[in-house]
Amino acid sequence: MQRIEAREGRPIEELLTDLYVSQGMLLAEVGTRLGVTESAVSKWLQWFGIEARRGGPRREAAVA
């Protein structure tokens, strides 16, 4: 985690909130962006208390 934080210039929690919550990226996309596995992203979400979405399309792509 420290290497990613140093490389990105901000804490993992902030990165996850931005990429996963604000931008609506998938776990796999966040993992690719940060250079880690989807599993690692999932564990970090749990660690920081960020609620994971449960399948289906991204929020912005969902039909109203």
pLDDT digits over 3-41, tens only?
999 999 999 999 999 999 999 999 999 999 999 999 999
Residue 58 has pLDDT above 80, yes or no: no
Domain count, the chain: 1
For 36-57, write each residue's pLDDT tens digit.
999 999 999 999 999 998 875 5
Q: How far is CA 29 from CA 26, 58, 64, in A?
A: 5, 12, 24
Residue 16: domain span: 2-61
Question: Rg for the chain (alpha carbons), in Å?
Answer: 12
